Amino acid sequence: MGKLYPPSPTQWADFQRDFTSGLIWCTYRHNYAPIRPSTFTTDVGWGCMLRSGQGLLANALAVQFMGRGWNRPVPGDPMWDIYVKILSWFLDDMNAKSPFSVHRIALLGKQLGKNIGEWFGPSTTSQVTQALVHNFPQSGLSVYVTTDGVIYKDQVEEIATKKKTASFGHLLILVTIRLGIDKLNAIYKDAIKATFEFPQSLGIAGGRPSSSYYFVGYQGDDLFYLDPHHSRNIVETKDLSAYTAEDFATYHCETIRKIDISAIDPSMLLAFYCRDRSEFDALCERVKELNARPGMGSSIFTVGEKAPDYEVDDESRLLSVTDEEDEDLELIL
């Protein structure tokens, strides 16, 4: 994501190291406490997009706190405590230590019209991600969601400066798009691949119809991806100092998988992370350059200065959703 591996004797080894050690892999889990009021103790068969969204957010936070180019630390490394804290936020528990658990994701989805156990699409995933982060300001992250294929600078400015510091930065941009009816329109293939080259890229959550993957790079017409369709036993929550490297081994994928871009679903969620205003400005310039590039085909999304008056930003819409079913959620919506 944003890193080029030029042909060299170590090209594949370098890529393999970063894929297996520099990405957080979120998958199905089983044996967790039921997601009330349902009896689900696993998300096998329905939670793949929830897990792809988790992975996208987890990698955004990893970049934010450990920088791009991070690799899996071990106990004693300077980054170990930060790494443990980030992953603990995603453990499958309803307690306050796990603000990004599958429990909270599923319950927020329920407030947005998705029954617990129902598959999410990219739009629901983006809105739930925004609400999760809004409800956990300790992450230091802001989330901007656009569902019409346009990143509006005035909306980004408002969201990116809402934090207590009022300074622009630590921004996750989520772009939900549909690039075809039943299958991906071939005219968009090159533009999709080009977005992985953006330094701000965090990949794409998408996949096949009703089967989500988390795409993180490409070679030729093949997209590399993390597959959430592997069930693992839960990692129990405990004091941060008690975790070992083995506890989080299943959050890293040793198998590199790829799929031809023509086989992916046309509905997808693109993600970008901007550490500060200069990175956001650079992202906007890259989008404009991509859309103006000869032979690129059609634009997949654009940048606009000001949203039309009828636009309602997704955060406001989410914040109007109230929780009336579970008083223990501790969600500020």
Confidence of residue 310 (pLDDT cuts 50, 70, 90): low
Across 2-19, average pLDDT: 93
Catalytic one among 229, 230, 247, 276?
Answer: 229
Contacts of 242 (CB under 8 A, 6+ apart): none
Peptide bond connecting 266 to the previous residue in cis, omega within 30 degrees of 0: no
What's the CA angle centered on 261, arms 258 and 264, to 5 degrees?
Answer: 95
Q: What three-state secondary structure class fits 169?
A: strand
User: Residue 233: which H helix or E strand, with range?
Assistant: strand 232-233
pTM confidence score: 0.91
Task: Reply yes or no on whether 229 is catalytic.
Answer: yes
3-state DSSP: the chain helix, strand, coil percent, rounded to 5? Answer: 35, 20, 45
Convert the pLDDT of each residue in 37-92 to its tens digit: 999 999 999 999 999 999 999 999 999 999 999 999 999 999 999 999 999 999 99
Task: Reply yes or no on whether 253 is catalytic.
Answer: no
Q: Percent of the chain beyond pLDDT 70? A: 91
Task: Reply yes or no on whether 48 is catalytic.
Answer: yes
Residue 320 pLDDT greater than 80, yes or no: no
Q: Detail the DSSP E strand segments found in the chain.
A: 29-30, 142-146, 150-152, 169-178, 201-208, 211-219, 222-226, 232-233, 257-260, 267-276, 302-304
Taking the domains of the chain in order of start, what are their residue ranges? Answer: 11-319
CA-only gyration radius of the chain, Å: 19
Catalytic one among 92, 93, 227, 314?
Answer: 227
Residue 108 pLDDT greater than 50, yes or no: yes
Convert the pLDDT of each residue in 116-163 to its tens digit: 999 999 999 999 999 999 999 999 999 999 999 999 999 999 999 876
